[in-house]
Amino acid sequence: MVTREDVVAEIQKVPDERLEALYLIIKDFEGRSGEDESNQNVMAALRQIKITASPDFSIKAKLYNLIFMKTLLY
């Protein structure tokens, strides 16, 4: 496992001219890690949703959608 000290030791080896680029990479990585965690939490919550409906619900839902769209067009 990589420790914080290992990372700092490697950063110490980076030439000064490349520090800005390294800083931008670190900030980009930091911003993405929060997004990944929140996306995983959203997906976990969505997987827990259970829909209780009649077996032909999807067929009727499509029919209702068609009827609704027809009324909007006329």
Say how many domains are in the chain. Answer: 1
By three-state DSSP, how is residue 74 classified?
Answer: coil
CA distance 22 to 6: 16
Say what the pLDDT of residue 68 is: 61
Write out the residue range of the structural domain in which residue 22 sits: 4-73
pLDDT for residue 5:
94
Greater model confidence, 29 or 23: 23
What residues contact 48, with CB distance under 8 A and at least 6 apart?
Answer: none
> What was the pLDDT predicted at 46?
80
Contacts of 60 (CB under 8 A, 6+ apart): 54
pTM of the complete model: 0.43
Q: What is the pLDDT of residues 26-63, one digit of tens each?
A: 888 887 755 555 666 777 888 888 877 677 666 666 66
- What is the number of residues in the chain? 74
Q: Where are the alpha helices (DSSP H) in 3-56?
A: 4-12, 19-47
